[in-house]
Structure 1
Amino acid sequence: MIPWGGLGCCLSGAALYLLGRSSGRDADGLRSVTRVSRLKDLAILLDTASKVLPLIVTVSGRVGSETPINCEQSGLRGVIVEETAEQHFLKHNDAGSWIQDSALMFSMNKEVPWYLDDGTGHVYVVGARGATGLALTVASEAFEESGRSLVRGTLDYLQGLKMLGVKRTERVLPTGTSLTVVGEAIKDDIGTIRIQRPDKGPFYVSPKGIDQLIANLGKWAKWYQFASMGFTVFGLYLLTKHAIDYFLEKRRRSELQKRVHAAAAQRQARENEGLTEKSEEVSDDIKNDQLMLDICVICLEQEYNAVFVPCGHMCCCMTCSSHLSSCPLCRRRIDQVVKTFRH
């Protein structure tokens, strides 16, 4: 039998180890980026570093836009807006009870060109929705209950549904939000500076500072390494235990088969000599030998009184049979044990 528990733990440990290495590499990548304290210095840095492009930098500032979006529900002004609507309902399951569930009705995303401004200059951010760490603020959340129309309610009930209502959520990246961006800095022909995802390297848009991002990645890397070691050790323990149990069981079965074959050989020898067909005047010594041949091959104390189904072999007592899953003689699986009685 394959030790799936041990293999699963070892594989989980390997996966956590890879995650830990990835987090460690990300932390090292953030440590190596160029820090720009003032946005106006980025243009000069790009001019001087044109020969060593791509240039990965980290900049900070407040979100701004020349054409911000006015949110309909919350009234906020933002540069990225995400609106979703979820239908909430009760559905009839196979057990005959009602459980609550939901389904997405629609999702709409809006984004306008936006930049970071620190008072000395500004740089545009491109492709922020695909960056790590971007979290939109929940600007508004409203639940509209479904109407109580008799016809609609009857149709939904026949389909095994009870409509509860629609939940509308609006998430936004408001103007004025302080952000830290890590990415590739480029400048186009007209002098506009942008931060975008690099071909190779980190790309972060987060309200956390660069030092906090590095510290968090370092903590995750250590946690992954610790968890990886724990899962691996436990998995190796399970695999080792399974291997030891397998060899001990194999050895026990081998010894048991030797006992059974030896007892069968003795029985055959007695039968060939005609000792088993003697009358009641047989000697006490031969009776004792016969009794020894009728004892359980497991405990060697009780007489065997159990028949294994379906193979039909009888070589063990009922007590020992309760601990067996396969016949000691033919190794077939035991489906049932039937107790026998002697006259």
Structure 2
Amino acid sequence: MASRAHEQALAAMLSHLALSFDGAILGAALAYAAVRSFLNFTANSKSLAKIRKAPTLSVSDLRSLLQNHDQDHQDQEQKLVIVRGQVEAKSAVDGSGKKSSRDSNVLLSHESGDKAVILQRTQTCIYNEWKGFFGWTSDLRSIFGRSLKEQETTFLRTVPFTLVEGGQWPQSDYVIVNMDGSSHPLPLTMVYHQLQPIVASRYTFIQALFGHEYPVGVLHEEKILPLGKCISAVGICNSKDGIPEIKSCKELPYFLADMTKDEMVADLAFKAKILLWSGIVLGSLSIGVLGFAVMRNWNKWKAWRQRRSQQPIHTTSDEDVSQIDDNEDAGDVPEGQLCVICLMRRRRAAFIPCGHLACCHTCAVSVESEVSPKCPLCRQAVRNSIRIFEC
């Protein structure tokens, strides 16, 4: 319960912060999101243009391409290519290109027994959380749609591998795949997926009752990049000891993928449209919210300046009234009639439009002189105050 109260207080604080200054904070956050969307759109568009220009080559055509580039002395950026072939372990060939022991340097799946060049095991501990009575709650996690928390542990192993022409190995050429420095997603195949439930202990009910998360299961997964799988490699191609080698390009969102070039272009074009329209919508909303906040605060500032300009005219009368208040309140003030601000004089002024009789006349004038005057009791905006006389 304490955690729920803490999260509700945090949600209330965030909402008040977002709407503070008449929504200026919210407008700034929307503007930041719009800028991020446009930056992502620019990066996505550049990647789309590069992939569209990149030629799609077979493995056997890479040698002639590299020879032409070496003769023309062109830069490496123009060597961006898309190669599609089948996965084969690098240990399957020796330095002369002859076939050697294939099983000497490959990975073996513990669950399926398949041979692979990349093996990834993932163990995810799934935690359930208090959802309140009848399965619903108003805490902060429900606002973001988070009903489960996951704690994941990943183990990844790789061995050197190449791409070869499909159906022509071992007679065809091959290209070495250089995985150094690559953080791109991998086209792995799921071979094992099992959820192992955790038996509830005697303390599980107490944990759920007081809002603490508790484990409900462990998810075991195993993914591999098997031998013989047909994939595409998008990257910079160069020659290493006369053998073609392809390396990832950090500016591109793909390196190894199941998709063909046309599918990559379609995927990036769709993402570019989403990012563009997201930036336009968020930017329009931010302009509207910021414009409203600027106009609202500008009007408040003008009203404050107008009140300040009128203060010298009433200075004498205010001092006279204050002297009258001091004379009238010379005696004991009944309980509940003290000014809530100075706690010295009797309450003599009522605020408009809320009508609260909360302050003496002197404190009411000081409240009205603020940039954004508010009633000290209900915090409602104050337009004016009137003096209350007793018969």
Fold conserved (TM > 0.5)?
Answer: yes
Task: Give the deviation of 1:169 after TM superposition.
Answer: 1.0
Task: Give the deviation of 1:162 after TM superposition.
Answer: 6.0
Task: Give the deviation of 1:174 after TM superposition.
Answer: 2.0
1:57 lines up with 2:77 in the alignment:
no
Aligned twin of 1:174 = 226
Q: Which amino acid aligns with 1:108?
A: F
State how far apart, in whole Å, the 1-side matches of 2:62 and 2:119 are: 29
1:115 lines up with 2:166 in the alignment:
no
Aligned pairs for 1:1-343 within 5 A: 2=21, 3-36=24-57, 38-50=58-70, 51-54=73-76, 55-65=79-89, 66=92, 67=103, 68-88=106-126, 101-104=149-152, 106-118=153-165, 119=168, 120-127=172-179, 130=182, 132-146=184-198, 153=201, 164-189=216-241, 191-198=242-249, 204-256=255-307, 262=313, 265=316, 309-311=340-342, 314-317=348-351, 319=353, 321=355, 327-329=367-369, 334-336=375-377, 342-343=390-391
Task: Give the deviation of 1:74 after TM superposition.
Answer: 2.3
C-alpha change, 1:27 and 1:102, in structure 2 (3 Å) is closer
Structure 1: any 5+ residue segments left out of the alignment?
Answer: 273-305
Percent identity, aligned pairs only, is 16
User: For each residue in 1:46-98, what CA deviation from the matched residue of structure 2 results, as whole angstroms up to 9, or x when unmatched?
Assistant: 122213252221111122223442211123322211012234456889x9x9x
Q: Indicate if the aligned counterparts of 2:237 and 2:247 stay in contact, CA closer than 8 A.
A: yes
State the SS of the aligned residue for 1:130: coil
C-alpha change, 1:265 and 1:82, in structure 2 (3 Å) is same
Q: Which amino acid aligns with 1:310?
A: I
Q: Which amino acid aligns with 2:61?
A: D
Higher CA-based Rg: 1
Q: Report how many residues are paired.
A: 300
Q: Which moved more, 1:62-71 or 1:169-178?
A: 62-71
C-alpha change, 1:129 and 1:174, in structure 2 (3 Å) is farther
- State the TM-score, normalized to the length of structure 1: 0.70
User: For each residue in 1:92-118, what CA deviation from the matched residue of structure 2 results, as whole angstroms up to 9, or x when unmatched?
Assistant: 89x9x9x965534x5321212222222
C-alpha change, 1:147 and 1:209, in structure 2 (3 Å) is same
Task: Give the deviation of 1:187 after TM superposition.
Answer: 2.4
C-alpha change, 1:164 and 1:117, in structure 2 (3 Å) is same
C-alpha change, 1:138 and 1:236, in structure 2 (3 Å) is same
For the aligned residues, what is the CA RMSD?
4.2
State how far apart, in whole Å, the 2-side matches of 1:336 and 1:257 are: 24
State how far apart, in whole Å, the 2-side matches of 1:132 and 1:221 are: 19
State the SS of the aligned residue for 2:367: coil
C-alpha change, 1:319 and 1:342, in structure 2 (3 Å) is farther
- State the TM-score, normalized to the length of structure 2: 0.63
State the SS of the aligned residue for 2:284: helix
Q: Indicate if the aligned counterparts of 1:128 and 1:134 stay in contact, CA closer than 8 A.
A: no
Q: Which amino acid aligns with 2:151?
A: A
Q: Indicate if the aligned counterparts of 2:47 and 2:251 stay in contact, CA closer than 8 A.
A: no
State the SS of the aligned residue for 2:224: strand
